Amino acid sequence: MAGLGLVIVIVAVIASMAVAMYMYTQYQTNFIEVNAGESVIVGPVEYIVTFDGTHMGNKDTKPENTFVKIIIEAKNISQEETRMSGGQFYLVDEKDQKHEAVYGEFSEEDLYGDYLEPGKPIRRTTQFDVPYDEQKQFDIIIRPTKEQSTVDTAMICLTNC
């Protein structure tokens, strides 16, 4: 009888470990790596990100260092409206430091927050205040919004890939 109880305990431990591993793999981040100009899908949105140069801001907003500007082409490939915001995008330098997007009225295409309608592509720009060196590699990270409920995260090599 004691042997049967021991078998039940061992089976229960193995089953709980299997369930834990399954749940872990379901919620682990899936990194998708591409180069600038290539298409990448994060959740219900297809993105193409390209480097658009550097600038020193405008009369209202000046950078501490240099603004690195990117172009974001986004298309909602789902059947429901979804949101895209500047908070989804980070620039990562060679020291693995993350830089958040800087908002300002630099052009009519500046990204603040947009709702993407199904099948309608949009084009936006945003910039990051970083110590720019054209010899160094910079990457863009795109994370999904909370509503998009996906584990996909894109890492796009922006310069010097």
Q: Is residue 57 part of a domain?
A: yes
For 19-72, what is each residue's pLDDT tens digit? 888 887 777 778 899 999 999 999 999 999 999 999 998 888 889 999 999 999
Q: Is residue 64 part of a domain?
A: yes
Range of the domain at 79: 32-159
Q: Is residue 24 part of a domain?
A: no
Q: Is residue 46 part of a domain?
A: yes
Contacts of residue 120, Cβ cutoff 8 Å, sequence gap at least 6:
75, 76
Q: Is residue 47 part of a domain?
A: yes
| Residue 61: CATH number of its domain | 2.60.40.1240
Q: Is residue 92 part of a domain?
A: yes
Number of structural domains in the chain: 1
Torsion of CA 82, 87, 90, 96, to 10 degrees: -130
